[in-house]
Amino acid sequence: MENKRTYTTEEILSSQVYDEPLIANDVRCHGGFDSEGIYQSPRTLFRTPAIQAWQNQLAEEGAALIEIAPNLMPPQYPSAEQAKLLLRNGIREPLVRTLTIISIVEGFGAMIRDVKIPDLDELIVEPIEGTALHHLGQGLFEAHARDESGYRDEGGHKQMWEAARDAALENPNIPGDVLMRLMGRRGSAQRPGPAFPEIGEAAERMLGFMSNVLVVEVIAERTFRWGIDVLSDPEISAAPEVAGNMVRNIQADEKPHVEYLRTALSEVAARTLNTVDGKTIPGKTVIDGLLHRTLSQMIRNRPGDQRDDIREGLKQAMQAAQNPAALQDDFDALEPVWTAPAKTGFEPAALGA
C-alpha cells in the first residue's frame, strides 16, 4: 500500500467509516469522528497515502517539492483584536460580513472541477504514470471541489464556516449585499494576459488556476488561526468549543489540498513541456513564472481588498456603539502592520538570485 502510486477515482474519493458524523448548528457536514473522537477529514482513506507516495517518488528522483514561504501571508483584516473589540462593543456586522465572505470564497473552490485538463501526455515530454498529475482528473479535482462546497446532503467548507459563524454569533442577520459586492470587486479585477502562450491556452489556464489555488490555500492558514482565535474566545463567542473546533476541522481538511497541488506542480516543474510550435520549455520556468505572478498579485492586492470589504460599511456599523468616535479610534489603533516581503522566492532566474 505504501508505494502504491496508481488509484481509481473511486478510491481517491472514498472516506473512512466514521463512528460519528460531524453535525454543527444542525448542519450535517462532511468528515466525522473515529472511535477515539478524533476528527477524520473526508475522502482521505486513499488520498492521503497516495499524496505521500507521490511525494516520496519526487524525493527519490531528487526533485524539489514546492514550498511557499509563510512570511508571504498577509494578515487577516480586521485582525482578531479588532474583531473582538467590535464584538465586545456589540458591533457584529463587520465580522458577520468577513465570515460570510470566507464561506463564499470557500464555495468558489468547487470551480476546480470545471477546469479543463489538457492532454497531459501530449503536453509533458516525460511519462506521468503514477503521479498526482495523472490523478487530477481521476478524483483529485473532484474531491477538492466536494470538500469546499459540499456534496449531496453533506456540507463542505462553505456550510462549515456558515455553521461556525451562526453558532458563535447566534444566527446573526446576514447582510444581503455580501456576494454582490464581492463579485463587483472581483469582476473589475484585470485578468492578466497569457504569461506562457507557447504552452497553449488550456495548459496555461490549468496550471495558472492550480498555482492560484495553491497560494490561496497556503494563505488561508492565517485565516484559520484568526478564525480559531476569534470564534473560540468565550468572551465574544456563544459557542467557543463548537465554532472553534469547526474551524480546526476545516483547517485539517485543507492539508490534502495544499499537498496534492504542490505535488502536482512540483511534478510539472521536474519535467519538460512541449510547446505548440514544436519546441520545449522547462516545466520549472513555467511553474516558477506562474507562482511568482500569482504571489506578487496576492501580496499586492489582498490586504487592501480585505480592508476595502470591511472599511466601506464600518463607520455606519459603529453608529450602534455607545461612543462611535472612541470605538473608531480604538479600532484604528489596532490596525495590523504588515510589510510585504521583497521577494516571492519564485523570481525568474534572470531577475532573481
Specify the residue, 135 or 157, whose C-beta has the smaller distance to Fe ion.
157
Within positions 207 to 236, which residues make up the interface with Fe ion, using CB under 5 A?
A: 217
Specify the residue, 220 or 314, whose C-beta has the smaller distance to Fe ion.
220
Instruction: Please identify, among the stretches 16-24, 104-112, 172-180, 337-345, the one whose residues bind Fe ion according to the rule CB under 5 A.
Output: 104-112
Tell me how far, at minimum, the Cβ of 148 lies from Fe ion, in Å.
5
Q: x/- string (CB under 5 A) for Fe ion, residues 140-169?
A: --------x--------x------------
Q: Cell 512540483, residue?
A: 266
Specify the residue, 102 or 327, whose C-beta has the smaller distance to Fe ion.
102
φ, ψ (nearest 5 deg) of residue 352 = -80, -145
Number of residues engaging Fe ion in binding (CB under 5 A): 6
Specify the residue, 148 or 204, whose C-beta has the smaller distance to Fe ion.
148
Specify the residue, 148 or 166, whose C-beta has the smaller distance to Fe ion.
148
The answer to whether residue 254 forms part of the interface with Fe ion (CB under 5 A) is yes
Among positions 97, 158, 165, 257, the unique one binding Fe ion when judged by CB under 5 A: 257
Q: x/- string (CB under 5 A) for Fe ion, residues 11-50?
A: ----------------------------------------
The C-alpha atoms of residue 302 and residue 36 are separated, in whole angstroms, by: 40
- List residues binding Fe ion (CB under 5 A): 106, 148, 157, 217, 254, 257
